Amino acid sequence: MANINEVAEVAGVSISTVSYALSGKRPVAADTRRRIEAAVLQLGYSPNAGARMLAGSRTQIFALTEPLRTDTHAPTHMSFVLATAIAARRNDYDILLLTDEQAQAGMSRVAANGLVDAILVLDVAPDDARVALARQIATPTVFIGIPDDNDGLICVDLDFEAAAAQAVDLLADAGHRSIGLVGQTETAYVKSNFPPRVRASVLERSAARGVDAAYGTTGSKHADRQSTRRTVAELLDGGATALILHCADDAHAAALAELDARGLRVPEDVSVVSVGASFDLTALPVALDSLPLVPESSCDLAVDLALKALGPDRPEPGVRLIPPTYTPRGSIAAPRSSEAAAD
């Protein structure tokens, strides 16, 4: 195991400067700090880890890495931060929130300093840079989300594929043969792991059920009312008799506003089901059937796995998918053409 002398040598600074940078007792120039953090990562240096193992003590702190970017949908992300904090406190742990936009920097820092017992990873991207770091550090790490490269990692998430497929089944079973997916923003399909999974599952299940499916996004970087309404209009004009909403809360409201402006009622004229919503759907003007993303379910499981990783019976790496739960609220019915045929 590397020692502090080696870190100082690689970084080209004194041992005391390394100590100050890692402890935070004295300010260190940003350039110098970066060199030290790079040396720590390169050498796999973990100060105090050995002493803590010998003493059998813990910090009682989990780090939660949640990069806050300009395109972050704050209400959704904060619901996961809150759920994680509550789950941690239930187990006598506090949360150290890391909001660096360059997420791996904060994660590297706390791992090098031995400040936390485990790291929980939020806002997981398909090609997340924190994946490589998680494999290098000794600190147990749990991903709340699934990166494309998840080999050897512990990941938890809603089974978005199953939720999307169930939504298609509900509409197909009701008699709908043309479905529109109102999706996330365009940026989300690049930076997030779950929107592409929902989209792919909707299209695949629709094809398997002999149902036509189309989708549209709700804006470029942020969901906006105009883009959402335009997408809904295009899907309806294309023949959709039912909508799957997999978008933010304000986009849900905008979609319903477009239906209302067209004089269309839910479910008499258009059936609607929400997939993967982590916000309160009861605040919407129309009660919607839903297969929600429940932050508490994912975060409780992630904290439980992090705790187990600190004990003798460490959990095996792998993806843990949480089965979706369906809440019916009366927003799905047979399409009017089917009713007419039945009469």
From 144, 169, 145, select the one nearest 326 (Cα to Cα).
169
Q: Going from the first residue of the chain to its last (343 residues), give the mean pLDDT of each consecutive group of 10, the final group possibly shorter.
A: 79 84 73 85 66 58 85 77 95 91 78 89 91 91 95 97 98 98 93 92 98 95 90 97 96 97 97 95 94 96 96 93 97 78 41
pLDDT of residue 53: 40
pLDDT of 65: 93
Give the C-alpha separation, 22 to 16, whole Å.
10
Return the pLDDT at 220: 87
pLDDT of residue 55: 43
pLDDT for 56: 46
Tell me what pLDDT residue 343 has. 40
Give residue 25's pLDDT.
Answer: 59
The domains of the chain are located at 1-45, 160-293+326-342
- Report the SS3 class of residue 265: coil
Contact assessment for residue 338 and residue 172, using Cβ atoms and an 8 Å cutoff: no
Q: What does each C-alpha distance from 166 to 94, 169, 198, 205, 242 come to in angstroms?
A: 37, 5, 11, 9, 14
Q: What is the pLDDT of residues 165-185, one digit of tens each?
A: 999 999 999 999 999 999 999
> Which sign does the torsion angle of CA 57, 301, 83, 86 carry?
negative
pLDDT for the residue 76: 78
Q: Looking at domain 160-293+326-342, which of 3.40.50.1950, 3.40.50.2300, 2.40.50.100, 3.40.47.10 is its CATH number?
A: 3.40.50.2300
Query: CATH code for 1-45?
Result: 1.10.260.40
pLDDT of residue 37: 82
Give per-residue pLDDT as tens, 222-237: 878 999 999 999 999 9
d(CA 107, CA 139): 10
